[in-house]
Structure 1
Amino acid sequence: MYELLFWKYLDEVYLNHHEVYEAIEEKQTVEGLEELPVQVILNRIASVFSKWEKVDDNSWKNNAGVGAFQVKTTPQSIQIDCYGTEGKTMDTLVDIMEEFKCPLYDPQVPMRYDEMSE
């Protein structure tokens, strides 16, 4: 499994990314993060991946190739767990989240890919 995580800071707020990640993993509310339009984001993902089989409300699998992913949400975050998913598919998911101004945090590296990163 490869984990992708997304959140959006409030204006002028910048926190330790790994601490934010750990708080999100614990399902805690994080002061300084924006509430996300979770349903709108889920609808956008469903629209972009409409050719994929929707396994349940938050899971998709690619019948035409390899890979599957599951979306887990909190009011402040979107976590996408990818299973055997191609890089191109993960890039598409990252692009969708960029539309909502939510850059990728990659906990495997760990690094957040936003304009503030050095």
Structure 2
Amino acid sequence: MYELLFWKYKEEVYLNNHEVYERLLEQETIDGLEELQIEVIINRIAKVFSKWERLDETSFKNTAGVGAFHLVTTPQSVLINCYGTKGTDMEKLCQIMEEFKCPLYDPQVPMRYDEFAE
């Protein structure tokens, strides 16, 4: 499994990314993060991945190839658990989230890919 996590800071706010990641995994609400349009985001992902089988409201499986992913959301975040998902498909997910001004935090590295990343 490969995790991709997305959130949006409020203007002029920047916190410790790894601490934010850990707190979001616990489904905590975090001061300094924007509320996201979760339903709109899920619908956008479903549209882009419309050729994939939708196993339930938040799970998608590539029936024409390899890979699957599952969305875990809070009002402030979108975690995408990828299972054998190709890099190009993970890149599409990142591009969708960029449309909503939510850069990727990659906990495997760990790094957040925004203008503040070091």
Tell me what 1:58 maps to: 58
Are residue 13 (structure 1) and residue 13 (structure 2) matched? yes
Report sequence identity in percent: 69
**What are the superposed Cα offsets for residues 25-73 of structure 1, whole Å, 9 maximum, x if unpaired?**
1111001000000000000000000000000000000000000000010
Tell me what 2:78 maps to: 78
Tell me what 1:98 maps to: 98
Aligned equivalents of 2:28, 2:98: Cα separation in 1:
23
Aligned partner of residue 47 in structure 1, secondary structure? helix
RMSD: 0.4
**What are the superposed Cα offsets for residues 2-26 of structure 1, whole Å, 9 maximum, x if unpaired?**
0000000000000000000011011
Shift of 1:116: 1.1
Aligned equivalents of 2:57, 2:65: Cα separation in 1:
21
Structure 2: runs of 5 or more not aligned: none
Aligned equivalents of 1:46, 1:72: Cα separation in 2:
14
Structure 1: runs of 5 or more not aligned: none
Shift of 1:117: 1.2
Matches within 5 A, 1:39-58: 39-58=39-58
**What are the superposed Cα offsets for residues 64-101 of structure 1, whole Å, 9 maximum, x if unpaired?**
00000000100000000000000000000000000000
TM-score, normalised by the number of residues in structure 2: 0.99
Aligned equivalents of 2:67, 2:15: Cα separation in 1:
33
Aligned equivalents of 1:6, 1:70: Cα separation in 2:
14
Aligned equivalents of 1:117, 1:62: Cα separation in 2:
32
The structure 1 segments of at least 4 consecutive aligned residues displaced by more than 3 Å after TM superposition are none
Query: How many residues get paired?
Result: 118
Aligned partner of residue 82 in structure 2, secondary structure? strand
Aligned equivalents of 1:77, 1:31: Cα separation in 2:
13
Matched to 1:106, the amino acid is D
